[in-house]
Amino acid sequence: MRGSMRRKKKIKLSFRPKYLLYALLFLCAMLIYISYQYRDSLLPFKTSIGNLITPMQNGINTIGSWFAEQVELFESKQTLQEENEKLRAELENLKTQNSVLVSDGYELAALRELYEVGQKYSDYPMVAARVISKDSNSYYSSFVVNKGSQDGIRKDMNVIAGDGLIGIVTEVGKNYSRIRAIIDDTSYVSGMFLKTSDTCIVHGDLELMDDGFIRVEGISLHAEIEENFEIVTSHISDKYLPGILIGYVQDIEIDASNMARQARLMPVADFEHIENVLIITTLKEQMESNEENE
């Protein structure tokens, strides 16, 4: 018994690494081809792995956040005191500013009513979710939240945080869903200037990501736009609900083709510190079919 086992081990070890490498490389190439070609039919397999991993990440995350809290506690008293003083001064400043703004706010509300924009998307039904894992790869920006198909989340649902669009649900498991942020290099959102209704494409860009900007492309040369105009999701998009605020446009310039303009966009959502997000449970398709019925 023992002898046979030892022989088995010997046979196993006599694999030439080179051939094993070739075989597995071939397998990888096959896998890449298959997964690229039949992306959708492989999804259930991927989500089942996700269903297995996510609860573990959830658990380990609670430990992680505890550690992070402890590290934060080490921040010295001195810096906190300095910060406190600074903040106090700032607070006074802001108080006076606020009183001015409040009066402006009344005016704005009245004007908004006239303009009939309002916060349209606050009427959409939403589900709150907590971010449990960020991508372990520095090139992507997508993250996982703790709500999944059992909470009514579906693929292609829009995700917002604060006041603005954050991303879209790309993968749904039983108890988790993956969200691709709009700052991701592969993200394209069809956008529109709120004031002039000129359309554009909001395109995540890794180079701008560090500074917290997104690229805006394909703005018509004739569009009467200025710096700091709001960009919202457009009516044309087949996945994003119309009228969700994305951000404010900056640095408008004519692009390399001389046929259109491009700009940078300062998103309203804070992508550095996303903890809680809201997932809009209305899908664009549903909304359109409802409107047709009406």
Residues in the site for other proteins, rule: CB under 8 A? Answer: 13, 15, 17, 20-21, 24-25, 27-32, 34-36, 42, 45-46, 49-50, 53, 56-57, 60-61, 63-65, 67-68, 71, 132-140, 142, 185-186, 206-207, 210
Residue with Cβ nearer other proteins (61 or 196): 61
CB of 37 to other proteins, least distance (A): 10
Residue with Cβ nearer other proteins (15 or 115): 15
Residue with Cβ nearer other proteins (11 or 114): 11
CB of 87 to other proteins, least distance (A): 25
**What span, in angstroms and rounded, lies between the C-alpha atoms of 217 and 255?**
8
CB of 23 to other proteins, least distance (A): 10
Residue with Cβ nearer other proteins (81 or 186): 186
Q: Are 188 and 170 in contact (CB under 8 A)?
A: no
CB of 53 to other proteins, least distance (A): 6
Residue with Cβ nearer other proteins (185 or 217): 185
What angle, rounded to 10 degrees, do the helices at 39-73 and 17-37 form? 110
Residue with Cβ nearer other proteins (46 or 120): 46
Residue with Cβ nearer other proteins (50 or 191): 50
CB of 268 to other proteins, least distance (A): 21
CB of 223 to other proteins, least distance (A): 26
**What span, in angstroms and rounded, lies between the C-alpha atoms of 122 and 52?**
34
CB of 75 to other proteins, least distance (A): 15
